[in-house]
A and B are shown apart, each in its own frame.
Chain A
């Protein structure tokens, strides 16, 4: 008795096929850009062609790699902190609703802060090291996950909670066995939103001041009138975000195997009434 595993590769195959339109439109965009930059009479110091960006990226690969690693480090560290904080705080809020009323106004206010203004301040307070980057990444990624978790807990089916209580389960047991798993789909929706902010948050922090990193690299490339290198760094940061997004989708896929079962075409129900 197991899921029909043979279907899984096919489903991944169709997922791949579904990306084809996106690939085509992206290729078209790049082609138009290339033609315009080459034959539109635009100076490469204003708008470099994609081919030039690529070529310069390759020539400067050592510097780019050297500056990408700190950004990845800041992104992952900040996101990890944010993830832990979201879980811990959401659980606390779930156990003490009064805390929620105390905390949420502050959290919402934190989301209204303009990043451009706050990033230099955070760097001013915490220096050029890893800490201000972690803080800024956490600031931009924390809220969507927190809100998603709190809403997810509340979406627990009432009957399930009552049944657990009737079985003699305490609050912690109900949280662990019912509220947390009920919140998973919400959590992953929030995760996919917040992960797209993570790299941008790190770059903002570096922009405001750092020894190394994609943000500071972009800043100095811009100051040297090298838009090609700015765009090369931008491309890398987009690729990082896409990879993180893909990773989140993959983890969701692995963490919630029952979601897939729900979409199988219930061939098993035909055996109903076998007794």
Chain B
């Protein structure tokens, strides 16, 4: 069942054409990734979905046009956006508080999830006391407890070192198998997209259009088995060719930032 559907979505900032023509869809319980070069307009696409900016084209959720509140989505921004002045548990509970829940009740709702997110014992810590990987897990926890129809994750692991990132990707794959969230993930990282997604949209450089839609028919869990790794590597190589070909030998900066 299709939940999110975008048709011919376009967006310019003044003379700067950012999104040329984006059409995509995400089904119930599906994990879809958007892969594209830096500056293509991926974050802008999320801003359109959450209502932070306005564009043209058709955006529907369950067949209904999106109004300008992003109330369908739980959004995780590109930087973790943790509030330094809130303790970890209150950062995690922020979305529930905004929804009108009392702070006490919101804390009680998020507290049992800390163990699953590898954060047990850090409820009363300040964000400044956490490592980068833990901060991302807090941000992810803050996102999923909102219990919205769909997750929007903007490069959740982009700022992490390679080792922590690999660990977090595996962890997220495991979490997704348990919860089957409907999710749209933005990433620069081809391997991350292949590991996590059911389908991948590859965007061109700015002005962005969808240049390729790639299904990832690999069985889950995706973290074990040499045969699986070989299949995944083949898909990765195909995506890289598409991207590098389309950007006219402009280097793909998947490792940037």
**Chain A positions near chain B (C-beta within 8 angstroms):** 1-2, 157, 159-160, 162-169, 173, 177-178, 181, 184, 256-258, 261-262, 264, 266, 268-269, 272-275
Contact = CB atoms under 8 A, between A and B. Distances in A.
Given A159-B81, A256-B85, A173 B98 contact: yes
Given A157-B79, A169-B98, A262-B126, A274 B118 contact: yes
Main secondary structure of the interface of B (DSSP, over half): loop
Interface residues of B, number: 39
Contact of A266 (B73, B76, B84, B129): B129
B130 A162 contact: no
B99 interface: yes
B95 to A, nearest CB: 5
B133 A162 contact: no
Contacts of B233: none
Given A163-B75, A177-B98, A181-B83, 16 more contacts: A2-B124, A159-B81, A162-B52, A165-B50, A165-B52, A166-B50, A167-B146, A177-B94, A181-B85, A256-B85, A257-B126, A262-B126, A268-B125, A268-B129, A272-B164, A274-B118
Given A157-B81, A168-B98, A273 B133 contact: yes
A165 B126 contact: no
16 contacts: A163-B76, A164-B94, A166-B51, A167-B75, A167-B94, A173-B98, A181-B83, A184-B85, A258-B85, A258-B126, A258-B128, A261-B129, A268-B129, A268-B130, A269-B134, A273-B167
A274 B137 CA distance: 13
Given A1-B125, A160-B81, A268-B125, A167 B98 contact: yes
A159 B78 contact: yes
Contacts of A266: 129, 131
A184 B86 CA distance: 13
Nearest to B47: A162
B69 A168 contact: yes
A160 B76 CA distance: 10
10 A-B pairs with least C-beta separation:
A262-B128, A261-B126, A275-B118, A269-B131, A166-B50, A272-B131, A159-B81, A166-B75, A159-B77, A167-B98
